[in-house]
Structure formats: structure tokens, C-alpha cells
A and B are shown apart, each in its own frame.
Chain A
Amino acid sequence: MSVVKMEIRRGAYFDSVTLMRISADAKKIAGVTAAVVGMGTDYNIDSLKRLGMWTDAAADVTPSDLMLAISADDDKLAAEALVAVDGLLKARQAAKSETGDWLPSTLAGAIKVLPEANVVLISVPGAHAAREARQALEAGLHVMLFSDNVSLEEELALKEFAVGRELLVMGPDCGTAILNGVPLAFANVVRRGTIGVVAASGTGLQEFTSLVHRFGAGISQAIGVGGRDLSDAIGGRMTLLAVRALAADPQTRVLALVSKPPAPQTLEKLLVELKSVGKPVVVYFIGAPADAIRAAGFMPASHLEDAARQASQLALGRDLTSLVDDAALDHAAEGITLHGSYLRGLYSGGTLCDEAQRRLLPVLNVISSNTPISGGKKLTDIHQSEGHTIVDLGDDDFTRGRAHPMIDPTARQERLAREIADPSVGMILLDVVLGYGSHPDMAGELASTIRDAGAARMATGQAPLIAAAICGTEDDPQDFAAQVKTLEAVGVKVFPAHAALCAFAARVMGANR
């Protein structure tokens, strides 16, 4: 019989990532059957109800209150678990800073300690993010707005204000940027160089910059602008500002753009602006026809590796061999017989999930996804694959109340185990994104799932083929080479670029029709 104990702390605040970590640790305590440690949001209250842990104590809880709820085998264990959770919370509170034990509570306080600050990285809940961003801009600082759930109106107001002051607003929902060689939030360690890239896509920017590094070229600046910047509502305000800044930047000799296709009016404005840049421009508008771009005088790319290679060629002034090596891929795919009919792609990066769908739709004809491309099929139940399925596990529908799959492998591990055990699955694709912000050993986590879940099917020689691409560089905090080895050790085929992984998958699926 489970016992539920709950504690409410009014007005106590912790960020969502910290609370998720503490929840996860709480679940591991002996005797604990379930744990919810979170702010009193609708989602968390629903979780309590769903887990049968809701009590009257939670009746008047608000999103500013912290809930500690433990379900355990008996009273004593529940009480001990609460004490343990309290300890974990206290440990987090004792965060050290430049100033010893004291942390400023406000931007103004932080600026007093760090008067040379020039960038504010904001990752607070969406309801408060625009306000913090506005204060930063008013203080004359550039903003990286990692937070999502910022309204379109707020985004427009921020960007109008910022452009007037020549300040960057990178976001909302911007996870990646590299300024003056410094990786911000989720970003890779890449060589400094002459390619300036503006992107409305997080993992797209990560793959692009990592491949530029792989090709031997470097990045002057990598500026994220948020996924909605090139909509007609926002009109590409930040993209235009960033493009102008890169045009005027002596370190930048080649420009690159990575985004889904801009809305029509915005595209027109952008093409006009790009004409006056006076430097070569490589344009990767995901899924857009290349002719319009070529007609405007710019270099269209067909995928991220292509964009990175073209930009690197321009930067280095020499031809570069593509990492999508047809001969090598033919050889790798030769003679492979799949033991199941379907392909499953389990992605942590949205742009990579898109890229895979695009590359494989002509081969597979029908692909289901939670984020289907045009011509793709929407999954009825995002947690249940249907036929060929490629999912973006980093999408909102999967990450509500959970950590992002680039940080926490659990959700993907659970899904991976199910796909491996499914006898109709012949091939599985995975992306592993390295860099700051990402899990320290994603390959290890995935490998252990592959080993455990695959044991049964492997014994009968019916294991699905698993292939992966690792996005990152050898300078990233994770050990790139070791990540490759770890995956290869459990039979995963690892490819040097996502485009190569897709090309391989296309060959294998094509041959196994």
C-alpha cells in the first residue's frame, strides 16, 4: 500500500532543469514508488492526479509554490525521502558564484558585479522571459533568449526595440549561438574562422558549425534568430540585423543562412538585403526549391552538410570532398538484409529529424512523424510508431514536464527499447548531439539500452540495424572519438555527417523494399 506525503513551499523557486534532476534523484531513493518535485503548474498538478498523489494540501497551490510529493512503501520511507529531497534542494541553493556564496537576484545586481557584461542569456519560464529580455535591452546588453512560450507580440516588440539600438535578440526558443568563439547554451566548440552563419534552427546550427570545423574551416560568428524570425509577422528583423552586421564584419568573409523557408514577403526583403552584402552567401532554406535562390545570385544548399561544405570551400578557397561519399556508402550498404520492414528514426534535434524525413520520403513513400514535413503523415499517437516513423523527441509535445532529450536520455531510451523489441522494425536511426549543454555520455546511455534491449532479438539473429550520426567536434567537452567507439562496440554504424547517415539509410531501405 503506497503512502503519499506532500510538502508545499510557498514562494520558493527553482528552475525546471534543477527540479527535474531532483525528481529523478528522488525516484531512486529506496522505497520510493513515485516522486513529483515541481512548481505548482497545471502540468505538475495533472501529474500528481495522474499518479494518484494529489492531496488537499495541493488545493490552493500556485505556479510560484514548490510542491514536494513522495509516494513510498510506508510512512517512514516517505518521510525520509522528503528529508532527502530537502537536502538536495538545499545543496542546489548553495550555488557558488564569482562573488563567493552570494548571487545577485536581479540583472541590475549582476551588472554591478560584472560591469563588462555584454550578453544576457535568459532561460526563465516563458511568462517572464520577455520582461527580463526587455530589461537587458534597456541596459544596453545583447540578449540570447533560450526560453520558449514567448508570444509573437512580445517577440515583435522586443525585436523592434532591439533593432533600433543595434542589439541582438537571439530567440525566442534559441538554443544555440557562438559569439566571438564562445559557445552559448547548447553549442559546439568549433574553430574560429571566416564563416558567419545566421540560423533559425538550433541543431541545424550545431550540425553546420561542427561540419565547418570538420572541413577545416572556421566560424566567425554563429547567430541564432529564433524559429519565427522569418515569418511575415516578425519580418526577419533579427536575420536582417545579423546579416548587416556580418556584412560589415571584417572577420567574416562568407555568409551562410540556415532556416526553414521564409514567408514570401520576408523572403523578398531578405534577398534584397543579401544582394548588398558583397560577400558570397550560401543559403540553406530547408526544403525550399533551389531555383529562386540561385536566380537571386546566391548558392543554394540541399542539406546541412552541403551548406557547410560550400561555405567551407569558399572560406578556404579550395574544393572539398563531400562527407557523403557515394562509393563508401555503396560499400557500407552492400548486402545488408533487414530483419523487419520498417524504419524508425528517434531524433533529439528537430532540424535533423526534418532532414531525415526529406531525404527518405522519396524512398519510403509514407513517413509518419509528430512533426511531419509536407507530404508526410501525422502520427495518431506520438508515443506509438506507425509503419515508417521518424520522430523529433525534442518537440514540445514530448518535452512537457520532461527534460530535453539532448540533456536526459531517458525518454529516448524507453522509446528505443520498444522499437528494438518490435519485430516489424528493420532499421533505426539515431542522432547524437555533443557540445556544451548536452549529456556527457549520450553514446554510452544509448549503447547500454541497445545492449540490454537488443539481447533477445540478437540471440535469434533478428536484431534491427541501428545507424547513427554524431554531431560535434573533437574539441567538444565529450570525447568525440570515444562516443563513436562506444556506439560501434554495440554494432551501431556511425556516420561522419547526418547527410551521410540519411544517404546510407536511403540505400539500405531502397534495397530492402
Chain B
Amino acid sequence: MIKLNGLFDKKIAVVNIGIPSFAEDLKKQSVPVQHVDWRPPAGGNARMRSLIDKIKKGAKS
């Protein structure tokens, strides 16, 4: 039986990464939401990002 980790029985609480108005709309409806002040990883530096991904992939636990 697929229960999606009990999602349908939970109170929806959202982390919003990207367009701020999505978080504002959820707040208007009193839905718990946390907006993330997102910026491109490693300041958009592709080389840094691939190094980071390499390390994180190998970081295991």
C-alpha cells in the first residue's frame, strides 16, 4: 500500500525555494511556510559547484 510516508494525514508545511510570492500566498492562508533566500550554489561558479558535488557525493553518511 503506497502511503507516501503518511503525507495525506499530515498538516502541509512548505519550504519555498524560489519565487517569493508563492510563500506569501501560503502565509495568507495560514499554511506553515519557510521561504529560503536562495542564490545559486557557489555563487554560480560551475567549477566550485562540481567540486562540492564531488565531495558531497563521497560524503556518504
- Taking CB atoms, residues of chain B closer than 8 Å to A33 are none
How far in angstroms is the closest Cβ of chain A from B30?
10
* A285 within 8 Å of B (CB atoms): no
Asked whether A179 lies within 8 Å of B21 as measured between CB atoms, the reply is no
Asked whether B36 lies within 8 Å of A248 as measured between CB atoms, the reply is no
Report how far A477 CA is from B26 CA in the complex, Å.
12
Query: Pick the contact of B12 from A97, A98, A119 — CB < 8 Å?
Result: A119
List of 3 A-B pairs having minimum Cβ-Cβ separation, nearest first: A64-B44, A123-B18, A103-B37
Contact mask B1-33 → A, CB, 8 Å, 1/0? Answer: 111110110111111111111100110110111
* A13 within 8 Å of B (CB atoms): yes
Report how far A221 CA is from B11 CA in the complex, Å.
13
* B58 within 8 Å of A (CB atoms): no
Asked whether A179 lies within 8 Å of B12 as measured between CB atoms, the reply is yes
Report how far A225 CA is from B7 CA in the complex, Å.
16
Report how far A185 CA is from B21 CA in the complex, Å.
9
- Give the B-binding residues of A (Cβ under 8 A): 11, 13, 15, 17-18, 62-64, 92, 95, 97-98, 103-107, 109-111, 113-114, 116-125, 128, 131-132, 136, 140-142, 146-147, 165-168, 179-180, 182-185, 220-221, 241, 244-245, 247-249, 251, 436-437, 477
Asked whether A13 lies within 8 Å of B39 as measured between CB atoms, the reply is yes
Report how far A92 CA is from B19 CA in the complex, Å.
12
Known A64-B40, A248-B2, A436-B25: A147·B18 in contact at CB below 8 Å: yes
Asked whether B44 lies within 8 Å of A123 as measured between CB atoms, the reply is no
- Taking CB atoms, residues of chain A closer than 8 Å to B8 are 179-180, 220-221, 245, 249, 251
Query: Pick the contact of B44 from A62, A116, A146 — CB < 8 Å?
Result: A62
Report how far A123 CA is from B26 CA in the complex, Å.
15
- Taking CB atoms, residues of chain B closer than 8 Å to A116 are 10-11, 13, 32
Query: Pick the contact of B5 from A111, A166, A185, A251 — CB < 8 Å?
Result: A166
How far in angstroms is the closest Cβ of chain B from A296?
21
Report how far A119 CA is from B31 CA in the complex, Å.
12
If A95-B35, A95-B37, A123-B22 are given as contacts, then 14 extra A-B residue pairs at C-beta distance below 8 Å, sorted by A number, are: A13-B44, A15-B18, A64-B43, A117-B34, A118-B13, A123-B19, A124-B17, A180-B7, A180-B10, A184-B22, A244-B2, A245-B2, A245-B3, A245-B7
How far in angstroms is the closest Cβ of chain A from B60?
12
What are 27 A-B contacts with C-beta separation under 8 Å?
Answer: A11-B43, A11-B44, A15-B18, A62-B44, A95-B35, A98-B34, A103-B36, A103-B37, A104-B36, A104-B37, A105-B36, A107-B17, A111-B15, A117-B14, A117-B32, A119-B13, A121-B16, A128-B40, A136-B15, A142-B7, A168-B4, A179-B7, A182-B31, A183-B29, A241-B4, A248-B2, A248-B3
